[in-house]
Structure 1
């Protein structure tokens, strides 16, 4: 989220003397930094420090101030006034970047939009191509009785009627074979008038519309502005031509040599209606209050054709299944529909961004809208794990300064991004941070604790919306040093997770129906239940100090089996696979699970068994097909998420074992050639004293405090083939423990 951005006049102070004749940027060779160096830990290199996100009114004086406060640089853009069109502001941006990079040695990211959500170039894309606006397919479902007239008026602000059909029965129970095409009963304006035959009928009226009123494009914190359609390939192409190519042409000497990445912010399919923003946005495109807000699906100009090409059948006759029904046919169509949306977003938005950034020598990064819950992911984007393949640096946002809240959100968001980074060989994971979603203020140690939580879940790069002018010079320096110190200590090496957790997005797709608000109560109950259960499984593992990675269906199918483990191409090896509650499994995945079980990989089947196995686009009842898998001695069935850790602990060689239950403690282990680093985080407000056994044997152990920058020898003793130490953490405190061979 572009938190805190405002529409302000851009005033540029005179350039400082050293900025009038900037030196030519040269290829920078990063110095080799030795791990576990106490001097480097006290004052980390600029590469480890957070970037400050500043969109307007940036000048050399401010940049120098950021440097003095310990920031690693900034995420910025050409001024919002006269966006992308004013030469004066392009020149100011170039001067700022020259000064930051050449004079101060700072790092720069480019924010790719005028506010957010990304994709419109401040409205320029749709000004050039209005046909590329986000589209929805609104649906009116009406019951009708024989002997009466049924009227449905074409809703204001909507476009072409796509399909009108009547079926005998009710919305949740009708006879597909009784379909009557009612398009001949619509007039040129799209109004329906039908003399209803005898019996009870349900009528579905589908009409295309611009997906604008009531959506995130209207109710965000920046500006009410019509949005592009991520399903249209030309939308992202036009966006890149208007935005990214201009930055490259004007600043190409700094791409990959100071400018590190583009940041794309909360692109989405609009999905559903979002309540009014707590901040009054500016208005570029005034929404029409008279346009009715109807249940709406994501749609595109070529979606029906794309669907038929990819899925092998015509979607239009099956549209009612997207609105209601729980039959196997309905669930199969919904899986196909949401899979198609996901593929198109991946191919038409994220892949073009990836390609441009790769060709330009910078990373593609940023984050998506509402990453926290799977039932939101289904309607706003699709398969996030697959999207992260196209970010050289996968990213999230986490807008809280409460560590306990951060744990609840980041266990899905940060863990998903870092898991995809591991699988797709990405070196870093980014988070946009602030406390924008907190309803009350927390203490300074709260924001540090929330950042440590994200480190523990795999984030290692932070872009900050925390307002530096609301912190003292000392607080800013402590904030930036703290982040830099942990990032330095965790740099390089490999995480040691042994558990793979399946990402059941297909099961959510099968159950997803159009929602009328952001309230989970408006979503299909089973989709919400699968999503909530998924989080509960993850929380049970992390609160029992069991590390894991998420893998989607594709990643599980692509991975190999070696030495009784599931092994990915990137070299990650898992001896356990957890299948959380889901409504459906792909037949190929079921076969892979059977092979894994035969090889001795532990398979945890949690929750009620899925009802269906999808094979060749058809749903088959699951019970009989699951019997071979469930009979395997390698398979463990666990009903509730809270029972998983207890089943797994006796089977695993855990990397961290505590003396008693400590749900407040989370950790990350990184293995390097030079030694091993553990990050230990207390997410609770109260102190925690614990006896910890580390799965290492080493002669030298040290305790590092990222708050003070100090390191000290840590007394340890050998116990049961492990190394044991006593640790005492204050509320919201984090420490690092290193083990080095001598």
Structure 2
């Protein structure tokens, strides 16, 4: 690609680069007119695709409108038709809590349904005998506590899997050496057995039964499928093949090159005391893969996990500390086997089926369950993460960037889910997107979109909520800011276009294996004294923005501009991952070095690293690294020594020790503590392709390579600080440097670059929250240039303000007769807009203006006149708005077109719009709906999901938010 190609294509980015939407439908209730209108609106506002799913719509008839009903099938056809007609992508949504991930054709007692291993036990004194039937699971007993949505249906069958006894010691621990497998002695679910003469004994009876997990809404009861045995995916394929994918729907899918199935996070639950995911083949598969029997170890595997895998607490620990490592290895082998079966029996066959019908598979792989996070990456077409569960943290985004970049997968994120519905300014969401881009996420799926129209009796202004009124933002037409979405979505499209060019260039790959990754960062919103921490405070001032990354905690690489990401070391063993003597996966991320830091490492991976090191691989072995286990629990772990044991019970610790001893002596390997990693990388000649000349603690970068073009993304991520930063970045190679304006698509020469040997030094001054994209064109000659001098031409202090105040209007009732003997009715709340002429004002938040006040939400139009006697030839003129309180908006000078602006750094290039003399400037700034909804009492009945998830039954606490243009507004000239 040439710079001219880049300039031409980015000016108006194609629809596939635009942000997409998660769309919550009111089951199948919506009229055809509503569906077509919503898709037309989304397309008009510049969105590139719709991912749709059915949400529970209160008291409507689920049998008529729920998933699987004739209405839902019809609506799905309309959605696919309308999105395809406009060139938009379309995604069906699958996931445990969405009914279309589950099936009406199965019940919990069938092999295709999700299974769990439950347990009941007896206590026996020394020498005590027991005879007769083994205790069974009380399937009608209260279920284990869980905070995940969904509920358990009726389960009827249970099958005895194993019987194990163990001696109990003090504090309820078990003597691992005493464990005896009694399964073979149990006949017809009965057992005659006498406990040994020493100590107290516990007899465990393990029964498999369906989890019974269901989800709503649906036309009938739909049960969660089995993710571990092939029966589950076969049932899913059969249902979609025979029932959902009608000939008409298949024909529409065939016309859409971007039709997808989206698998949401794996919020699978077990409800019994055992707490273990199980399958009909799991014990046999474990024995075949791991080389030993899992049954004697079952007492050490039973667990509670009230809120996803990270909350796992095991029921029993070994009495002898010498057995602790062995038990940890068995636990690892269990969850490794779960991951194997999920890959082989669900993802792989499901993806193959989807490809046959013309769809691709995009998935939030693994997280939520005790599965390894990165190994499933090669099995799907797109890897998705999300902002909510991971708290929009850069280290969390790096977790799945590794497999995405290693295997060339589209890396996307579900973006904008928060616990603060309608409250936060637009800048908050822009900063989430900016953080994602810094990790290489180049597809934003906004969470989300809902039609204002919904069921009568439950739908109030500002409209149908979709994902409840407490768990998401709305990026639809109910927002005052939607007027400016075409400008905004084009800007995001340009950024995503720039960062999909060519190959990602990541400096370092960090080997990391974790089956219990903390995906509850975004829920850790309760302070040490029980206080509710607002989302905007946590995201803006805590965690990464308080210099606390989670999984690689030393900030030396980040501050130096050395990029890195994580992946499981076993991915290096795949045939489609290569090392060319310089880089790992040269056609992908091109890691120049790898890091090993966790205390466990697979011996085969270690041997592979040794082989590659002999061929020139640069490797840093890091001792003493600390990483997060659970933020809510305040639990971390420190790896005193790297790779001191294999993770599983494979008997290869001595082999690993010998390999690591050899590696530590090799010339291309360095051994360091976390703080010594940067020096080690420098010593190895792997110090970064976009290295900061001087360390900078404010900036994150991401790099792409496309032929002669190097695309650099830089982001000042400390957006709640008041301090700009000037960073100098050294790029490999020489050439001409250009900078992209995402809001206009202009690609202009960048002033502030020089040559230093075989590097180009780019100087960037970034305001808090500002992003910059520069392009180094190595096919063109470089011209040294100093950063421009900035002169204030005028300060605009006299403004007139008119506010378009948004409030509830008269709703519209929509009806549709589908010809099935009933009439569907939905209500569409309307917005009434009142113009409030505030007159001449000093720039201040609306709540402080007597002519506006604290109850108003909407759009403010500010007008002023700036006089420019002369325009300097060759100079660049920008209008610096100072602050819009995070509000999205536009600027218009004279009769020129509206120009958008960055909500963190609202500076607009007006060079082409100014004329000598008087120039009328109109600035339009939107607000959230918070102040109006607060005045209407909306939040008094909205639960605070952030508090609820930690057991606190609170409603949302809404404060008056600052809105509007507050300046100072200055016209600047860059010479």
| TM-score calculated relative to the size of structure 1 | 0.76
Among candidates 497, 521, 538, match of residue 488 of structure 1:
497
Write the distance in 2 (CA, Å) between the matches of 1:62 and 1:561: 46
Q: Which residue in the other structure is 1:62 paired with?
A: 38
Identify the range of structure 1 (45-54 vs 719-728) with the bigger mean alpha-carbon deviation.
719-728
Write the distance in 1 (CA, Å) between the matches of 2:549 and 2:735: 42
Q: Which residue in the other structure is 2:18 paired with?
A: 49
Q: Which residue in the other structure is 1:338 paired with?
A: 335
Instruction: Call closer, same or farther: CA 1:218–1:646 in 2, change over 3 Å.
Output: farther
Q: Does 1:365 align with 2:357?
A: no
TM-aligned CA deviation for residue 93 of structure 1: 3.5
Instruction: Call closer, same or farther: CA 1:628–1:201 in 2, change over 3 Å.
Output: farther
Q: Which residue in the other structure is 1:449 paired with?
A: 431
Write the distance in 1 (CA, Å) between the matches of 2:164 and 2:54: 51
TM-aligned CA deviation for residue 668 of structure 1: 1.0
| Unaligned stretches of 5+ residues in structure 1 | 1-30, 274-292, 513-517, 520-531
Q: Which residue in the other structure is 1:16 paired with?
A: none
TM-aligned CA deviation for residue 52 of structure 1: 1.9
Write the distance in 2 (CA, Å) between the matches of 1:662 and 1:335: 39
Q: Which residue in the other structure is 1:262 paired with?
A: 260
TM-aligned CA deviation for residue 131 of structure 1: 3.9
Among candidates 769, 778, 785, match of residue 732 of structure 1:
769
Among candidates 55, 66, 72, match of residue 48 of structure 2:
72
Write the distance in 2 (CA, Å) between the matches of 1:117 and 1:649: 52
TM-aligned CA deviation for residue 147 of structure 1: 5.9
Among candidates 473, 477, 492, match of residue 469 of structure 1:
477
Instruction: Call closer, same or farther: CA 1:129–1:733 in 2, change over 3 Å.
Output: farther
Among candidates 293, 308, 328, match of residue 287 of structure 2:
308
Write the distance in 2 (CA, Å) between the matches of 1:723 and 1:32: 19
Assess if the C-alpha contact under 8 Å between 2:725 and 2:765 holds in 1.
Answer: yes
Q: Which residue in the other structure is 1:631 paired with?
A: 665
Instruction: Call closer, same or farther: CA 1:573–1:269 in 2, change over 3 Å.
Output: same
Q: Secondary structure of 1:628's match? A: helix
Identify the range of structure 1 (716-725 vs 482-491) with the bigger mean alpha-carbon deviation.
716-725
Q: Which residue in the other structure is 1:498 paired with?
A: 507
Q: Which residue in the other structure is 1:100 paired with?
A: 83
TM-aligned CA deviation for residue 654 of structure 1: 1.8
Assess if the C-alpha contact under 8 Å between 1:366 and 1:430 holds in 2.
Answer: no
Q: Secondary structure of 1:207's match? A: strand
Identify the range of structure 1 (61-70 vs 146-155) with the bigger mean alpha-carbon deviation.
146-155
Assess if the C-alpha contact under 8 Å between 1:703 and 1:714 holds in 2.
Answer: yes
Matching of residues 56-455 of structure 1 within 5 Å: 56=25, 57=30, 59-76=35-52, 82-83=65-66, 85-102=68-85, 104-112=86-94, 116=98, 119-120=101-102, 123-127=103-107, 130-139=110-119, 145-146=125-126, 154-157=136-139, 159-168=158-167, 170=169, 172=173, 174=175, 176=177, 179=180, 181=182, 196-210=195-209, 212=211, 226-243=223-240, 246-247=244-245, 249-258=247-256, 260-266=258-264, 268=266, 270=268, 293-323=272-302, 324-325=317-318, 326-327=323-324, 329-368=326-365, 371=367, 380-399=369-388, 405-408=391-394, 411-412=395-396, 414-426=397-409, 428-437=410-419, 441-455=423-437
TM-aligned CA deviation for residue 71 of structure 1: 0.9
TM-aligned CA deviation for residue 270 of structure 1: 3.0
Instruction: Call closer, same or farther: CA 1:164–1:129 in 2, change over 3 Å.
Output: closer
TM-aligned CA deviation for residue 185 of structure 1: 8.2
Count residues with an aligned counterpart. Answer: 647
Write the distance in 1 (CA, Å) between the matches of 2:99 and 2:559: 34
Among candidates 692, 696, 703, match of residue 669 of structure 1:
703
TM-aligned CA deviation for residue 231 of structure 1: 0.9
Q: Which residue in the other structure is 2:867 paired with?
A: none
Q: Which residue in the other structure is 1:596 paired with?
A: 612
Write the distance in 1 (CA, Å) between the matches of 2:578 and 2:50: 44
Instruction: Call closer, same or farther: CA 1:227–1:700 in 2, change over 3 Å.
Output: same
TM-aligned CA deviation for residue 678 of structure 1: 0.7
Assess if the C-alpha contact under 8 Å between 1:48 and 1:485 holds in 2.
Answer: yes
Instruction: Call closer, same or farther: CA 1:478–1:445 in 2, change over 3 Å.
Output: farther
Instruction: Call closer, same or farther: CA 1:165–1:725 in 2, change over 3 Å.
Output: closer
Q: Which residue in the other structure is 1:694 paired with?
A: 730
Q: Which residue in the other structure is 2:602 paired with?
A: 586
TM-aligned CA deviation for residue 425 of structure 1: 3.5
Assess if the C-alpha contact under 8 Å between 1:119 and 1:236 holds in 2.
Answer: no
Q: Does 1:721 align with 2:729?
A: no
Instruction: Call closer, same or farther: CA 1:659–1:180 in 2, change over 3 Å.
Output: closer
Identify the range of structure 1 (416-425 vs 82-91) with the bigger mean alpha-carbon deviation.
82-91
TM-aligned CA deviation for residue 504 of structure 1: 2.2
TM-aligned CA deviation for residue 562 of structure 1: 5.6
TM-aligned CA deviation for residue 238 of structure 1: 1.2
TM-aligned CA deviation for residue 163 of structure 1: 2.4
TM-aligned CA deviation for residue 50 of structure 1: 1.6
Q: Which has the higher helix share?
A: 1
Instruction: Call closer, same or farther: CA 1:488–1:729 in 2, change over 3 Å.
Output: same
Write the distance in 2 (CA, Å) between the matches of 1:33 and 1:54: 37
Among candidates 667, 682, 707, match of residue 716 of structure 2:
682
Q: For 1:484-537, what per-residue CA distance to the aligned partner results, in whole angstroms no more than 9, with x for missing partners?
A: 1101222321111232211324xx58xx9xxxxx99xxxxxxxxxxxx997125
Q: C-alpha root-mean-square deviation of aligned residues, in Å? A: 4.0
Write the distance in 1 (CA, Å) between the matches of 2:666 and 2:194: 59
Q: Secondary structure of 1:483's match? A: helix
Write the distance in 1 (CA, Å) between the matches of 2:137 and 2:491: 55
Instruction: Call closer, same or farther: CA 1:365–1:657 in 2, change over 3 Å.
Output: same
Write the distance in 1 (CA, Å) between the matches of 2:675 and 2:269: 32
Q: For 1:666-721, what per-residue CA distance to the aligned partner results, in whole angstroms no more than 9, with x for missing partners?
A: 11111112511111112112243123223144443222232454544211122343
Write the distance in 1 (CA, Å) between the matches of 2:404 and 2:92: 21
TM-aligned CA deviation for residue 547 of structure 1: 1.7
Q: Which residue in the other structure is 1:647 paired with?
A: 680
Q: For 1:278-326, what per-residue CA distance to the aligned partner results, in whole angstroms no more than 9, with x for missing partners?
A: xxxxxxxxxxxxxxx5242211122222323333443323433535444
Instruction: Call closer, same or farther: CA 1:345–1:479 in 2, change over 3 Å.
Output: same
Write the distance in 2 (CA, Å) between the matches of 1:679 and 1:556: 27
Instruction: Call closer, same or farther: CA 1:35–1:145 in 2, change over 3 Å.
Output: farther
Instruction: Call closer, same or farther: CA 1:269–1:172 in 2, change over 3 Å.
Output: farther
Write the distance in 1 (CA, Å) between the matches of 2:6 and 2:332: 49
Matching of residues 7-18 of structure 1 within 5 Å: none
Matching of residues 515-554 of structure 1 within 5 Å: 535-536=551-552, 541-554=557-570
Instruction: Call closer, same or farther: CA 1:296–1:619 in 2, change over 3 Å.
Output: farther
Instruction: Call closer, same or farther: CA 1:153–1:100 in 2, change over 3 Å.
Output: closer
Write the distance in 2 (CA, Å) between the matches of 1:247 and 1:44: 32
Write the distance in 1 (CA, Å) between the matches of 2:648 and 2:39: 57
Write the distance in 1 (CA, Å) between the matches of 2:192 and 2:92: 54
TM-aligned CA deviation for residue 101 of structure 1: 2.6
TM-aligned CA deviation for residue 603 of structure 1: 1.7
Assess if the C-alpha contact under 8 Å between 2:137 and 2:207 holds in 1.
Answer: no
TM-aligned CA deviation for residue 364 of structure 1: 0.8
Write the distance in 2 (CA, Å) between the matches of 1:206 and 1:682: 57
Write the distance in 1 (CA, Å) between the matches of 2:555 and 2:349: 35
Q: Secondary structure of 1:450's match? A: helix
Assess if the C-alpha contact under 8 Å between 1:229 and 1:269 holds in 2.
Answer: no
Q: For 1:556-596, what per-residue CA distance to the aligned partner results, in whole angstroms no more than 9, with x for missing partners?
A: 234777664354385654331101213x3222222222223
